[in-house]
Structure formats: C-alpha cells, structure tokens
Amino acid sequence: MALEHALLVSLTERAGSGYELARRFDKSIGYFWSATHQQIYRVLKRMEESGWVTVESVNQQGKPDKKVYSVAPAGRAEIARWLAEPTDATPARDELGVKIRAAAYGDIDAVCAEVERHRGQHAQRLDEYRLSEKKFFPVPDQLSGTDLHQYLVLRGGIRAESGYLEWCDEVLQALRPRKGDDRP
C-alpha cells in the first residue's frame, strides 16, 4: 500500500487540510500506517497533480490561506482499483524478536528489560484502542458502512495488541530464572 491510498481513505471519510489530515492520521490511520507531516504534504501534492484530489483554497484571517483537499472522481476510481488488487500478507519485521532469539549471547536481564519496555508500550496502545472503542463505538452491533469498517480495523488492532502482550508475558516467564533453577 502506498501512503496515497491511506490518505485517499482518510479524505473519503472527511475532506481536510494537510494539517488536519496529519492530525487525524496521528490519531487513527497512523496506528496502522505511519507517515510524517512532510510526507503527507508531498504526497498530497502528487495526488493533486495526478487528479486524485481537488483543492479548495479557504481564506483565513491573519493566516495564510488553507488548502482543503477532497477526493476527486479519479481518486475514487483509484481506491476502487486498489481495493480490488490482491494484497500480500505483510511479513513480520520485529527487532525485539531478533533480540530475543539472540538472548543466549548477551545479558538476558537486559533482554527482559527490553521486553518489559515493549510490553508497556503495547499495553498503553491497547488502552488507547479500548478507550476509542468505548468512545466511538459504544454499540458495535448497530454499526454499518464506514463506521463498521473503522470499528473492524480497531478490533484488529485490539486483538494484535492483546496478542503481543500475551507473547511478551510468555517470553518473560520463559526467560526469567525460577527459584531453584540453575540458569545463569
């Protein structure tokens, strides 16, 4: 997937300026596809040049004009084309997993500390996801359309984070010496 597709999805949900998109991105799609604000602005310019988005200039008092982006018919066609295209499973790329694999060659306590640090970060993200679920989707069985689709992605994130936490707990339990254990 290209950043263009993530931005098109966000813009189909609601038109916005580059700044607004970057802020929305940080709070939603950004959990699943990361991009810097500079990347977003560069890609918006390319999307405008490709005819995928239209831009409306909005006057602001005491500030430069704001560019508000909307999805153009060519952008909707690109979303439809992209949705129909097969997607390969994303290969896992996790530096922590490589560190755990190498634990026998270094300080296992340091590896455990790193696993605990990662566990804390994933626990925090899981809490954020669950708060979003309660706030934005209090009655999930009544969802449809875009709301349902957003909810399903959020549920995927909740399951992924829950699984990661379980894995961290399993790793810590396996790597930490137990009483009477003669491991170093």
**Segment 10-23, tens digit of pLDDT:** 999 899 998 888 88
Contact in structure between 25 and 73 (CB atoms under 8 Å): no
Contact in structure between 67 and 17 (CB atoms under 8 Å): yes
Can you give the pTM of this predicted structure? 0.79
pLDDT value at position 139? 96
**Segment 158-168, tens digit of pLDDT:** 999 999 999 99
**Segment 81-115, tens digit of pLDDT:** 999 999 888 777 789 999 999 999 999 999 999 99
d(CA 41, CA 19): 8
